[in-house]
Amino acid sequence: MLYYQDMLKKFLHKFRFFLVGNLREEKLSRFFSELIIDFRPGEHVSILDYGSGFHPNVIVYTSEILNDNQIKAEINCTDFYSPEDLIKLNNLYENINFYHLDNFEDKEFDFVIISDVLHHIGIEKINEIKNLLIKLSQLSNFILIKDHFEYGPFSRAILRFMDFIGNYKDDVSIPRVYFNEAELNLLMDEIKLTTVKELTNISLYRKIFFPFNLKKLHFIHLYKKH
Ligand SMILES: C[S@@+](CC[C@H](N)C(=O)[O-])C[C@H]1O[C@@H](n2cnc3c(N)ncnc32)[C@H](O)[C@@H]1O
């Protein structure tokens, strides 16, 4: 059984790369670094990437773009990393430190990035999400959230399919539902986070494989405390 699961994971890893390559990571890092450049407090920025992932290309590319723009970024990443992952990742990048979520020390940051993490926690666990966002907003001036909107069964099915392809191999739980715009706005009002910038109509995948318009399914919002 384990053998077949491993085979499926390897196949999905290759299939995802064939389908989207690193396009998602490259595009997201451009969006994130533009926002950080526009709203940075100075030439030095500190960033927490919460749920940075087991292939943390988005934050690595973001860091490279910031560096190319003469911005010195001190970056902390946290996720469910194993001790082996931590040794490997912490030896790879000079200005990026990786921690396990349980050992993560509360510090202060200019930006917290939460990229495609909230729907994996589970939108239905709204109190857990609320408490996490309250905690993270106490650590940082800005909260940058990339996540998904669903509009009905079809968009939900596409998002679940993409999440399965992208995350099953890393044992990340596959969401059942996604945010809708009204729900998200209500939550942010409740926890007193104000939108300072909204990016919508985001295209992350190759049109040849996804001829229908998927742009409405992604959002990137930058929030600040009221
Ligand atoms: C889709 S990946 C996103 C990785 C990266 N941020 C990116 O955008 O490429 C979601 C990550 O959220 C992490 N995560 C953090 N807290 C989680 C939770 N409570 N439940 C599920 N996943 C969680 C997972 O381990 C996973 O690496």
| 136 vs 155: CA distance, rounded Å | 29
pLDDT tens figures, 163-208: 998 888 888 899 999 999 999 999 999 999 999 999 988 888 766 5
pLDDT grade for 212, boundaries at 50, 70 and 90: low
pLDDT grade for 210, boundaries at 50, 70 and 90: low
- Among the CATH numbers 3.40.190.10, 3.40.50.150, 3.30.750.24, 3.40.50.300, which is that of 2-225? 3.40.50.150
Residue 169, pLDDT score: 83
Q: Which atom of ligand 1 is nearest to the CA of 146?
A: 8
pLDDT at 211 over 70: no
| pTM metric for this prediction | 0.92
Q: Which residues have CB under 8 Å from 203's CB, separation 6+?
A: 27, 214, 215
Report which protein residue has its CA nearest ligand 1's atom 15.
Answer: 51
CA of 172 to the centre of ligand 1 (A): 7
Of all residues in the chain, the percent with pLDDT exceeding 90 is 73
pLDDT tens figures, 41-66: 999 999 999 999 999 999 999 999 99
Residue to substitute in 79, 98, 102, 129 for testing ligand 1 pocket (most ligand atoms within 8 angstroms of CB): 79
| 145 vs 191: CA distance, rounded Å | 14
Share the mean pLDDT of the chain: 92
Residue 5, pLDDT score: 81
Q: Report residues whose beta carbon is within 6 angstroms of any ligand 1 atom.
A: 51-54, 58, 79-80, 115-117, 120-121, 167, 172-173
pLDDT grade for 209, boundaries at 50, 70 and 90: low
Phi-psi region of 52 (alpha: psi -120 to 50; beta: other; left: phi over 0): alpha
Residue 207, pLDDT score: 67
CA of 80 to the centre of ligand 1 (A): 8
| 92 vs 178: CA distance, rounded Å | 34
CA of 51 to the centre of ligand 1 (A): 4
Residue 14, pLDDT score: 82
Lowest mean pLDDT among 5-19, 26-40, 112-126, 202-216: 202-216
